[in-house]
Amino acid sequence: MDEVLAQPPGGEAGHILASLPNPVFLLDSEDRFLFLNHAAEMFFDSSAAMLKGTALSLQIPADSSLLALLARSRSQMASVADQGIEVASPRIGLRLLNVQIAPFADRTAPDSGSSEPSGSGERAHEGRMLVTLQERALAERLRGQSMFHGAARSISSMAALLAHEVKNPLAGIKGAAQLLQADLSPENQEFARMIVEETNRVTALLDRMEGFAGGAQTPLSPVNIHEILDHCLRISAASYGDHLTVKRRYDPSLPSVEGHRDLLIQAFLNIVKNAFEATEKKTEITVVTSYARGRRLNGGGAARLHVPIQVEVIDNGPGIVPELRDNIFDPFVSGKNGGSGLGLALVASVVADHGGLVEVDSVPGRTVFRINFPTAGKGGAA
């Protein structure tokens, strides 16, 4: 095992590292801490004395992109850098980082008492890696989402003008479905009930849009997010039939979300519909729920948003083209021919109304919409 350093790397460079405002730490060949500056101690919420000699993998998840980047830098013996790496753990919360990693050889401080020839000290330090982190405030994402939210409100104001005209034909559709229901076979009555239920939900949504344009607050109450997701997936299965394969990975201990059932249904239906239209055939959608007590987002100032409930909707489509990815939640931005670009703007607005955050990661063959919510009965700030 490499000797655990009691002091920063030698010479003036070591004192500079110790005083840098960004987290900097040195790892041995087995990714154990050798040195941490004060900013790194603050980042890991622990002292250097406690962390020295312990493995980095004890502080962050084993599947973290940071560990993969570290392994690549060591295997290539070259400096590597990446931006926007997410690191999450109960101790440090959720952080968004720019990372730079470089092989480290302390040529200014050979091992004391060593009788090896010149240069052997550098070989003794082979495998050591210097890691520099620059935290990107997650408040940037919240500010961006606030812009989506405001734009979606403007759209809702325009849509409210049409709500009355839309509700009239909806009433006719509902009445026709109710009349047909008595004459249908038992197996088909479920579809008639679904038409009635969805008509009621859309009518309620239109009522809310009219109130929303007038500045009404969204009424929230504890809701079961799994019941909402299952409802959306049943509707999607009825709409898309054999083209849709759904996998569920639910956390059975998930607490309730403080939410508005109809609005959450509308948001998740838009995400699932988006996934189906992107893949067209052999669509596979995986819905994952999880709970992480320490998941907190920096919301600006001293406040941190506690959003431990996470829903991920994953599809196997071709992915979002890079030129659209950063603006996918903006109104009128769409990668589909004839698409209005309003569905995901509504998703961003609904999630913001619930004190949450929505993000998307996309590469060819895998797109993940990730939505984080606070729990019911507990304020979002912590």
pLDDT tens track for 57-89? 999 888 788 998 999 999 888 899 887 787 877
Contact 1, 37 (CB under 8 A): no
Buried b (16+ CB within 10 A) or exposed e, 307-334: bbbbbbbbbbbbbbeeeeeeebbbbebb
- Assess contact for 9 and 28: CB atoms under 8 A: no
316 pLDDT tier (thresholds 50, 70, 90): confident
d(CA 382, CA 378): 9
- Comparing 311 with 206, the larger pLDDT belongs to 311
Q: Is there a shared CATH topology between the 11-136 domain and the 140-373 domain?
A: no
Across the chain, mean pLDDT equals 76
Phi, psi of 329 (to 5 degrees): -95, 0
CATH fold of 11-136? Beta-Lactamase (3.30.450)
The amino acid occupying position 215 is: G
Look at residue 119 in the predicted model and tell me its pLDDT.
45
Backbone CA torsion sign across 183, 187, 189, 195: negative
CA distance 132 to 25: 7
Within 8 A by CB and 6+ apart from 343, the residues are: 270, 273, 274
pLDDT, tens digit (0-9, with 9 covering 90-100), for 226-265: 999 999 988 887 776 666 788 999 999 899 998 989 889 9
Helix axes 261-279, 225-240, angle to 10 degrees: 40
Contact 254, 226 (CB under 8 A): yes
pTM metric for this prediction: 0.51
25 band by pLDDT with thresholds 50, 70 and 90: very high
Burial class (CB in 10 A: 0-12, 13-18, 19+), 284: middle
Beta bridge partners of 81: 100
Which two three-digit tokens encode residue 353? 């109304």
Among 192, 258, 256, 259, residue whose Cα is nearest residue 224? 256
* Closest residue by Cα to residue 358 from 378, 89, 349: 349
pLDDT in tens, 143-196: 555 555 555 555 555 555 566 557 667 877 888 888 888 788 887 888 888 888
**What pLDDT does 206 receive?**
73
Task: Output 278 or 355, whichever has higher pLDDT.
Answer: 355
pLDDT at 241: 63
Domain boundaries, the chain: 11-136, 140-373
**In angstroms, rounded to a whole number, what is the distance separating the alpha carbons of residues 224 and 226?**
5
Q: 26: closest CA among 42, 9, 39, 41?
A: 9
- The pLDDT tens digits for 280-293 are 667 788 999 998 76
Q: What is the pLDDT of residue 115?
A: 40
- Residue 225: the pLDDT is 94
Annotation: CATH topology of 140-373: Heat Shock Protein 90 (3.30.565)
Per DSSP, the residues of 33-65 read EEEE-HHHHHHHTS-HHHHTTSBGGGTS-TT-H
